[in-house]
């Protein structure tokens, strides 16, 4: 059965909105560097980690699907593939933050003693970062290249080789990502440590990517390319995954917090005290409400998970929660915990990030057919039902 | 779709079986007299159980001073065995509940046996804290109810109390889930058996099942709801077990990654135990058509995934201890790898991190003998993981004058052997009296009568 799939056409106005948002973000950053460099770099790091999470989360979604041999999301795979387009930009952002914005990391200027000094020696951290992002880009690039090549060659062998590459990517991700989250975010407070940190970042990035993917898929259904492709059944499964990973995030959050609260070591509790005092308390609670509590109760009934309108609202709430989560992770350590710092520099770059993301997404989505037309599992995915 | 056939994995159940053949295959092994191998096996496991009973009777009569514990190592063999057995149970719940929600149809061939193992493993686990109480006849003091014991009220801030509730909830839900799944098969047995006490028992437990549309509808609704309820339990039970350690201030115990790390380890160990026993059952009960290389392969892949998570947790813990610059943290982990009990650490790493890597190869996954050996290694490795966490973290105290060693006494070893005896005896009885494979569920995934597409 040959079906025609619509190309993605953007109205001039929509494109202009994305473009101007991105320009606004960039302009805020440049001006911020001159006026308030600490805040500009902290905000830059937030945007970078957030966008990196979108790309890596999308790549993980693709890899999970291949490794499990799951067919349900094959028809939607071009959405996460296009989301991965942000990865090179986010990787560049990480390197810029480490090389140019190094002033936000307290350990770059002082010499730390013992093994911490070895693990957080500047050249070692930068070297690791280069290796991590290179590995991620190589694996993700190879997977997407094969998926797109299959459109033309219809070679089922490419699905098999993507399955192997996906397994490789998952191993590489598992071995590197926790260290990356230590290096790039946790080390903003070099005296504090928690073994859960990498798992916490993983839970957040995957949830955020799922939420973004769901919004984008619903948008593309309205815009044309995924019309007659995305069904209520797909949405139901995405809704269940969001429900599950939102709860997983809360589980990880609670496990980390509870253990630190219970043991009550002064060297550990500081991290949370700094995020509950000085006006941060309401945000601390809002993070949990937006990322888990409200989505949990809204997503419980089956009809909600099958309703595009409701899903988009919940996903937007989760993405705001994700922003807040990164804000709470980075700002109290990098800018100061005495009071909540929010203003033009944070707002401008928070608006710029989705603009940049959408520009890259749209460009990448147009590089290939809107669905993987020659994937052997496409028909099963299009006819997917519970 | 020629290309779709190329990557599809073929039928789940081999031999183009009809539903009638499935019933005959599974029920016939319950209806004939047991093979000599079954009698030998139950005699062996029964002896182990007897040995355990003698040891338990002796230590309850004499007191738990018969164990090898000392002032520094106040928790060792009993809690290791407790955590080991709780972990074994987790694969059953994963297979029955989580894989059901994930629409993994291959689970139908193994879920019955895996759930039975969950129940038996939780029974084995429960024995150890019960014995450790010293006076197990006072176990009801764990339950919070109005009483005349004055200030002897439960300390709700203690993770050990949370554990009591977690495990008892887990047992209840697992048992109900297992039993609900069993009802249609009990009805099949009832309808096949000749009049007699077995028919009456099967009739009683099938709760008047009549196979009507309404009955099935209710059954499937309940099954889905129970799967939804059991899924959080996969995470919560071992999370709370991990809190027994992680809420403390002992270096090596207090680490925040412990909850998900324990959960992954539990599924890892449980899946390897399920696989060990199913490989034996497959061979002796001639279930090769039901538990195919595809089923074994899928379980091997779960072993690779969960084993990988455990390996990353080992790595994270070690590196974070170095990163912490906290000398006690650093010492705890260096002592694991290089201290007097380092042999147990390296057994753990060898069995849990290295041996599962063989399963990456398809040739290994389809060689049942090699898979069996790997699963035995994982079982051993996961027992040692708990031993490493518990004993090596304790035997080196903050004060060097308190440093000591630990060796189990024969009483403790006999208790462990007895718990294996109990587990295997229950499993062998299960194989005799209950359909080992969920017939009603397997009938839903047969390829008979479906056109290849």
Q: Report the range out of A311-320, B26-35, B207-216 with the highest average pLDDT.
A: A311-320
B342-349 vs B327-338: helix crossing angle, rounded to 10:
80
CB of A236 within 8 A of CB of A72?
no
What confidence score (pLDDT) does residue B2 get?
36
Q: What is the pLDDT of residue B6?
A: 41
* Whole-number percent of chain B with pLDDT over 90: 63
- Chain B nearest C-alpha distance from A170 (Å): 9
Question: Mutate which of B7, B261, B311, B361 to disrupt the A interface (most A C-beta within 10 Å)?
Answer: B7
Measured between CB atoms, does B2 come within 8 Å of chain A?
Answer: no
Residue for token digits 């253990």?
A259
Q: Which residue of A has its CA nearest to B99?
A: A68
Interface with chain B: mutation pick from A63, A71, A157, A255, highest number of B CBs within 10 Å:
A255
Between the alpha carbon of residue B63 and those of residues B131, B136, B314, the distances in Å are: 10, 11, 36
The per-residue pLDDT for range A166-202, each reduced to its tens digit, is 999 999 999 999 999 999 999 999 999 999 999 999 9
Binned at pLDDT 50, 70 and 90, residue B451 comes out as low
Domain range for A328 is 12-382
Instruction: Please judge whether B325 and A251 are an interchain contact, meaning their C-beta atoms are less than 8 angstroms apart.
Output: no
Report the 10 Å Cβ neighbour count for B8.
16
Look at residue B4 in the predicted model and tell me its pLDDT. 43
To the nearest whole Å, the CA of A313 is away from the closest chain B CA by: 25
B63 sits in the region (left: phi over 0; alpha: psi -120 to 50; else beta) called left
Instruction: Say what the alpha-carbon torsion angle B38, B40, B42, B43 is, to the nearest 10 degrees.
Output: 160
Domain annotation covers residue A5: no
> How large is the average pLDDT for residues B354-379?
95
CB within 8 Å: A256 and B246? no
| Span B110-121, average pLDDT | 92
Asked if the Cβ–Cβ distance from B7 to A159 is below 8 Å, we say yes
Is B260 within 8 Å of A196 when comparing Cβ atoms? yes
- Note the pLDDT of residue A3: 67
The Cα B335–Cα B430 span in angstroms is 43
Across chain B, what does the average pLDDT equal?
Answer: 90
Q: Are A284 and A276 in contact, with CB atoms under 8 Å apart? A: yes
> To the nearest whole angstrom, how far is the Cα of A248 from the nearest Cα of chain B?
10
Asked if B260 and A255 come within 8 Å (Cβ–Cβ), the reply is: yes
pLDDT-derived band at B5, boundaries 50, 70, 90: very low
Query: If you measure CA to CA, which chain B residue comes closest to A200?
Result: B257
Asked which of A183-187, B96-100, B183-187 is least confident by mean pLDDT, the reply is: B96-100
On whether the CB atoms of residues A267 and A192 are closer than 8 A, the answer is yes
Residues of B in contact with A194 (CB under 8 A): 256-257, 320
- Among A196, A250, A269, pick the best mutation site for testing chain B contact (most B Cβ within 10 A): A196
| Contact yes or no for B323 and A119 at CB 8 A | yes
- Could you report the predicted ipTM of this complex, rounded to two decimals? 0.93
A273 lies in some domain: yes
Q: What number of other Cβ atoms are within 10 A of residue B50's Cβ?
A: 13
Question: Which residue from B minimizes the CA distance to A1?
Answer: B1
User: How many beta-carbon contacts under 8 Å exist across A and B?
Assistant: 99
Mutation choice for B interface testing from A116, A177, A193 by most B CBs within 10 A: A193
| Domain-embedded: residue A111 | yes
Give A374→chain B minimum CA distance, Å: 9
Residue B98 pLDDT exceeds 80? yes
Does residue A1 sit within a domain? Answer: no
CB contacts, 8 Å: B160 with chain A = none
Structure tokens at A148: 């797109």
Q: What HEC string does chain A produce?
A: CCCCCCCCCCCHHHHHHHHHHHHHHHHHHHHHHHHCHHHHHHHHHHHHHHHHHHHHHHHHHHHHHHHHCCCCCHHHCHHHHHHHHHHHHHHHHHHHHHHCCHHHCHHHCCCCCHHHHHHCCHHHHHHHHHHHHHHHHHHHHHHHHHHHHHHHHCCCHHHHHHHHHHHHHHHHHHHHHHHHHHHHCHHHCCCCCCCCHHHHHHHHHHHHHHHHHHHHHHHHHHHCCCCCCCCHHHHHHHHHHHHHHHHHHHHHHHHHHHHHHHHCCHHHHHHHHCCCCCCCHHHHHHHHHHHHHHHHHHHCCHHHHCCHHHHHHHHHHHHHHHHHHHHHHHHHHHCCCCCCCCCHHHHHHHHHHHHHHHHHHHHHHCCCCCCCCCCCCHHHHHCCCC
Question: What's the pLDDT band for B156 if we cut at 50, 70, 90?
Answer: confident
Residue tagged 């060693």 (tokens): B405
Yes or no, beta carbons of A116 and B255 under 8 Å apart: no
pLDDT at B317 over 70: yes
| Cα(B23)–Cα(B260) distance, integer angstroms | 40
Answer whether residue A289 is part of any domain: yes
Choose the closest CB to B312 out of A112, A178, A386: A178
| In-domain check, residue A92 | yes
Task: Using CB atoms, pick whichever of B4, B9, B247 lies closest to residue A259.
Answer: B247
Instruction: Assess contact for B347 and B341: CB atoms under 8 A.
Output: no
Residue B243: closest C-alpha in chain A:
A259
Compute how many other C-beta atoms are within 10 angstroms of the C-beta atom of residue B135: 9
pLDDT at B288 over 70: yes
Nearest CA-CA partner of B243 in B161, B170, B142 = B161
- Distance from the Cα of A356 to chain B's closest Cα (Å) equals 34
pLDDT(B8) > 70: no
Q: Residue A117: closest CA among chain B residues belongs to which residue?
A: B323
Distance from CA of A36 to the nearest CA of B (A): 31
Q: Please tell me the predicted confidence (pLDDT) of residue A355.
A: 96
Do the beta carbons of residue A265 and residue A191 sit within 8 Å?
no
Interface of B with A in 84-143 (CB under 8 A): 103
Average pLDDT over residues B424-429: 94
Residue of chain A whose Cα is closest to the Cα of B309 = A174
B61 near A CB under 8 A: no
| CB–CB contact B326 A267 (8 Å) | yes
Band of residue B450 on the pLDDT scale cut at 50, 70, 90: low
pLDDT confidence of residue A354? 95
* Residues with Cβ within 8 Å of residue B183, at least 6 apart in sequence: B205, B206, B207, B209, B219
Nearest beta carbon to residue A252 from set B232, B255, B260: B260
In this complex, do A376 and B315 lie within 8 Å of one another by their Cβ atoms?
no
Asked whether B243 and B79 are in contact (CB, 8 A), the reply is no
CB-CB under 8 Å, B235 with A175? no
Q: For chain A, how many structural domains are there in total?
A: 1
Residue B53 has pLDDT above 60, yes or no: yes
B239:A251 CB<8 A: yes
Query: Would you say B233 and B227 are in contact if contact means Cβ atoms under 8 Å apart?
Result: no
Is residue A265 one of the residues assigned to a domain? Answer: yes
Other CB atoms closer than 10 Å to residue B16's CB: what's the count? 12
Contact of B109 with B297, CB cutoff 8 Å? no
> Does residue B1 register a pLDDT over 70?
no
Q: Which residues of B touch A265 (CB under 8 A)?
A: 249, 254
Which residues of chain A does B248 touch, with a Cβ-Cβ cutoff of 8 Å?
263
Mutation site, A174, A177, A186, A263, interface B, largest B CB count within 10 A? A263
Spatial contact of B25 and B377, defined as CB atoms under 8 Å apart: no
Q: State the helix-helix crossing angle for B293-324 and A157-184, rounded to 10 degrees.
A: 20
Cα Rg of chain B, angstroms: 23
| Cβ contacts of B105-108, under 8 Å, gap ≥ 24 | B105/B12, B105/B445, B106/B12, B106/B294, B106/B295, B106/B298, B108/B12, B108/B437, B108/B438, B108/B441, B108/B442, B108/B444, B108/B445
For chain B, the distance separating the N- and C-terminal CA atoms, rounded to the nearest angstrom, is 7
Residue A347 lies in a domain: yes
Residues in A lying within 8 Å of B, measured between beta carbons: 69, 112-116, 119-120, 154, 156, 159-160, 170-171, 174-175, 178-179, 182, 193-199, 247, 251-252, 255-256, 258-260, 262-263, 265, 267, 376-377, 379-380, 386
Task: State the nearest Cα–Cα gap between A273 and chain B, in angstroms.
Answer: 17
- For residue B49, which of B37, B38, B41 has the smallest C-alpha distance? B41
Contact B254 A178 (CB under 8 A): no
Would you write out chain A's pLDDT as a tens digit for each of its 386 residues?
456 778 888 888 999 999 999 999 999 999 999 999 999 999 999 999 999 999 999 999 999 999 998 889 999 999 999 999 999 999 999 999 999 988 899 998 888 888 999 999 999 999 999 999 999 999 999 999 999 999 999 888 999 999 999 999 999 999 999 999 999 999 999 999 999 999 999 999 999 999 999 999 999 998 888 888 899 999 999 999 999 999 999 999 999 999 999 999 998 999 999 999 989 999 999 999 999 999 999 999 999 999 999 999 999 999 999 999 999 999 999 998 888 989 899 999 999 999 999 999 999 999 988 999 888 888 888 888 76
């Amino acid at each position: 059965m040959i079906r025609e799939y619509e190309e993605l056409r953007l109205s001039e106005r929509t494109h202009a909105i994305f473009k101007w948002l991105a320009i606004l973000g960039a302009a805020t950053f440049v001006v911020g560097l001159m006026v308030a460099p600490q805040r500009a770099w902290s905000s830059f790091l937030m945007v970078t980690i957030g966008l990196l999470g979108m790309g890596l989360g999308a790549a993980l979604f693709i890899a999970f699907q291949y490794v499990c041999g799951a067919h349900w999301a094959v028809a939607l795979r071009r959405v996460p593939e296009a989301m991965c387009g942000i990865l090179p930009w986010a990787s560049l952002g990480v390197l810029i933050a480490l090389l140019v914005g190094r002033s936000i990391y307290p350990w770059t200027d002082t010499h730390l003693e013992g093994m911490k000094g070895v693990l957080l020696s500047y050249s070692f951290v930068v070297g690791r970062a280069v290796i991590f992002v290179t590995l991620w880009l190589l694996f993700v690039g190879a997977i997407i290249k094969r998926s797109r090549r299959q459109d033309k060659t219809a070679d089922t062998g490419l699905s098999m080789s993507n399955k192997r590459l996906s397994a490789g990517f998952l191993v590489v991700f598992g071995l590197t990502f926790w260290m990356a989250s230590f290096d790039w975010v946790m080390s903003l407070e070099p005296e504090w440590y928690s073994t859960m940190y990498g798992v916490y970042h993983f839970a957040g990035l995957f949830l955020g990517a799922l939420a973004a993917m769901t919004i984008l898929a619903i948008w593309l259904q309205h815009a044309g390319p995924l019309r007659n492709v995305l069904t209520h059944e797909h949405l139901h499964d995405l809704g269940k995954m969001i429900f599950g990973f939102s709860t997983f995030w809360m589980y990880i959050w609670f496990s980390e917090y509870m253990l630190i609260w219970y043991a009550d070591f002064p060297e550990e509790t500081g991290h949370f005290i700094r995020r509950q005092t000085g006006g941060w308390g309401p945000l601390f609670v809002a993070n949990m409400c937006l990322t888990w509590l409200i989505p949990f109760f809204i997503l419980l009934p089956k009809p909600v998970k099958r309703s595009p309108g409701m899903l988009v609202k919940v996903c937007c709430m989760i993405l705001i929660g994700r922003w807040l989560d990164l804000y709470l992770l980075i700002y109290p350590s990098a800018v100061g915990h005495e009071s909540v710092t929010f203003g033009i520099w944070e707002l401008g770059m928070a608006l710029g990030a989705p603009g940049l993301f959408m520009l890259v997404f749209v460009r990448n989505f147009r590089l290939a057919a809107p669905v993987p037309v020659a994937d052997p599992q496409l028909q099963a995915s299009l006819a997917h039902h519970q | 779709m020629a290309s779709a056939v190329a990557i599809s994995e073929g039928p789940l159940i081999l031999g183009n079986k009809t539903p009638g053949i499935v019933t005959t295959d599974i029920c016939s092994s319950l209806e004939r007299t047991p093979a000599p191998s079954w009698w030998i096996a139950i005699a062996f496991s029964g002896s182990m159980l007897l040995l355990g009973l003698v040891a338990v009777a002796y230590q309850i009569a004499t007191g738990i001073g018969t164990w090898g514990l000392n002032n520094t190592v106040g928790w060792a063999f009993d809690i290791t065995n407790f955590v080991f057995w709780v972990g074994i149970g987790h694969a059953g719940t994963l297979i029955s509940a989580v894989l059901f929600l994930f629409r993994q149809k291959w689970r139908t061939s193994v879920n019955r046996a895996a759930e039975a193992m969950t129940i038996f493993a939780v029974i084995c686990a429960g024995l150890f804290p019960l014995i450790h109480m010293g006076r197990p006849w006072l176990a009801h003091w764990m339950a919070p109810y109005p009483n005349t014991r004055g200030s002897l009220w439960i300390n709700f801030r203690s993770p050990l109390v949370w554990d009591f509730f977690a495990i008892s909830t887990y047992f209840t839900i697992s048992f109900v889930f297992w039993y609900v799944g069993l009802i249609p098969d009990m009805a099949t047995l009832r309808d096949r058996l000749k009049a007699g006490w077995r028919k009456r028992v099967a009739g009683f437990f099938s709760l008047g099942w009549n196979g009507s549309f309404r009955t099935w509808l209710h059954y499937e609704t309940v099954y889905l709801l129970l799967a939804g309820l059991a899924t959080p339990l996969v995470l919560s039970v071992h999370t709370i077990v991990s809190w027994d350690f992680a809420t403390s201030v002992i270096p090596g115990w207090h680490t925040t990654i412990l909850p998900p790390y324990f959960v992954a380890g539990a599924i890892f160990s449980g899946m390897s135990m399920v696989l060990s026993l199913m490989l034996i059952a497959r061979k002796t009960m001639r279930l090769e058509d039901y538990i195919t290389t595809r089923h074994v392969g899928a379980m091997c892949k779960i072993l690779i995934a969960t084993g990988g998570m455990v390996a990353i947790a080992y790595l994270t813990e070690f590196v974070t201890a170095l990163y912490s610059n906290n000398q006690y943290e650093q010492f705890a982990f260096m002592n694991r790898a290089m201290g007097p009990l380092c042999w147990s650490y390296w057994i753990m790493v060898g069995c849990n991190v290295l041996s599962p890597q063989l399963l990456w190869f398809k040739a290994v996954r389809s060689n049942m003998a090699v898979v069996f050996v790997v699963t035995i290694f994982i079982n051993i490795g996961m027992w040692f993981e708990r031993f490493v966490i518990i004993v090596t973290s304790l035997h080196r105290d903050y004060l060097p004058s308190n440093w000591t060693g630990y060796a189990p006494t024969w009483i403790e070893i006999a208790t462990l052997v007895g718990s294996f005896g109990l587990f295997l005896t229950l499993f062998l009885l299960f194989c005799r009296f209950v359909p080992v494979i969920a017939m009603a569920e397997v009938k839903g995934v047969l390829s008979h009568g479906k056109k290849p597409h």
